[in-house]
């Protein structure tokens, strides 16, 4: 499974746009890029997933360049409630066991 590298922590202020970049140099051709959010003492929550280019949903946007060796999670206008740990994962497609291997994640702290 492709290993991911992301910043350990980031600080932001309310109302700002936050971009968290993840490196996955060894991503396989069919792998998806998936992001999860985890609040303290809670299970992770699926945020967004993509394969290439740009994906947007009601929570975030995911930018994936053509070589797919990195991806950027973009959170528009963050609020205090967005303070959490964000995990970037590279996941094989359906048909495999699909084990999710979590790295250390990025701890985002949003300040007033």
d(CA 5, CA 73): 13
CB of 98 to other proteins, least distance (A): 2
User: Are 64 and 53 contacting, i.e. CB atoms less than 8 angstroms apart?
Assistant: yes
CB of 69 to other proteins, least distance (A): 18
Residue 16 or 92 with smaller CB distance to other proteins: 92
Which secondary-structure segment (H or E) carries 15?
none
The answer to whether residue 87 forms part of the interface with other proteins (CB under 8 A) is: yes
Question: What part of residues 32-51 is at the interface with other proteins (CB under 8 A)?
Answer: 32, 34, 36, 41-46, 49
Residues 6+ apart with CB under 8 A from 41: none
One residue of 19, 98, 109, 111 binding other proteins per CB under 8 A = 98
Q: Closest by alpha carbon to 16, among 80, 92, 99, 84?
A: 80
The residue written with tokens 């985890």 in the block is 38
The answer to whether residue 28 forms part of the interface with other proteins (CB under 8 A) is: no
The answer to whether residue 93 forms part of the interface with other proteins (CB under 8 A) is: yes
The residue written with tokens 């699909």 in the block is 98
Residue 18 or 91 with smaller CB distance to other proteins: 91
- Residues at the interface with other proteins (CB under 8 A): 32, 34, 36, 41-46, 49, 87, 89, 91-94, 96-105
């Amino acid at each position: 499974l492709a290993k991911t590298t992301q910043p350990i922590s980031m600080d932001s202020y309310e109302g700002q746009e936050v971009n968290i970049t993840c490196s996955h140099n060894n991503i396989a051709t069919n792998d998806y890029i998936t992001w999860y959010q985890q609040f303290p003492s809670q299970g992770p929550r699926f945020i967004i997933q993509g394969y290439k280019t740009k994906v947007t949903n009601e929570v975030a946007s995911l930018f994936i360049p053509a070589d797919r060796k990195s991806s950027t999670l973009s959170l528009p206008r963050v609020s205090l409630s967005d303070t959490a740990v964000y995990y970037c994962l590279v996941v094989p497609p359906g048909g495999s066991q699909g084990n999710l291997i979590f790295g250390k994640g990025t701890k985002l702290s949003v300040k007033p």
